[in-house]
Amino acid sequence: MSLELTPDGTEAYRILRWAQEDPAGRAAEAVGQVNDLARPLLGDTAQAQALAEVQDAGTMLARLAGSLAGVTGGGGPAESVSGQMAAGGTISGQASS
């Protein structure tokens, strides 16, 4: 056992990263893609690790998709105060931009 991901897990995380670049535009589509990736793995005990990894990425995507509605109160791109602070921006700077 190592930290290396299975090919399916690697692909699921690739989809997750792609969605994280543009959550509002991609999260919903990405959930669908990971669903398609996970479906053939269901019930296949030989693929249990792959399914676990795909579901980890899928869970993160589902929470990411859900977070959009949570922040904006109804979809649309969400801006994160803490995220922008972490990125080095200042609130006052953004407010005046």
Partner 1 sequence: MSISAQLADPPGISVQLDLAFPDVPGFKGQGWSTQETVMVVRWLFANPAAWDQAMSTARAYPGNPHTVADTLHETIVPRSELDAIAAAGGDPAKVNWLEIGHELIERRDDPRPETVTAQLAAPVTISGQLDLSAASRQKAHDTASATAKAHWRADQVRDDHGRWARAPGGTADITGRFDEAQRGGRKPVTVKDILAEWRKSKDDLVRSHLNRAAAALDAGDRDAAVAELRNASTYAGVRGSGDRLHELAASLSDESRTNATVADFATKGAKAVTGLLGAGHNGWNGKIDLFNAEDQPAYAAVLNWDGTMQFQRELAQKMRDDAGGPVDDPQPYAVALHELIHGALPAGGESAEWKALAPDDRAALDALGGMDKANVSGGAYATMHSLADVRKYAPHVTQDTIDSLAGRGLLEKSDFTSSRADPKTGEWASYHEWKMTGKARDMTPAPQQTHAMHSAAYQNPTGASVEEGFTELGTVHHAPEFFAKMGIGDRPTKYTAFEAGHPKVNPVYASTKAAVFSKLADQERALSADPRGPQQQAAQAARRAVQSLNDDNLPGAEDDLAELRQLGDPDVTQAAKSIQAGLDKMQAAGYAARATMSEYAKRLRDPGRIAKGDAWRHYGWQTAAAQSWVQDAAKAEGKGPKSPRVRDLADEINREGVGGKVPAMVRQVIRAAGADPDKFQGAPFAALETRIRAQWPQGPDGAQSSPWASALAAAQDYDRSHP
Binding mask 10-49 for partner 1 (x = CB under 8 A): ---x---x--x--x-------x--xx-xxx-xx-----xx
Contact by Cβ (8 Å): 23, 45: no
Binding positions for partner 1, rule: CB under 8 A: 1-5, 13, 17, 20, 23, 31, 34-35, 37-39, 41-42, 48-49, 52-64, 66-74, 76, 78-83, 85-88, 90-92, 94-97
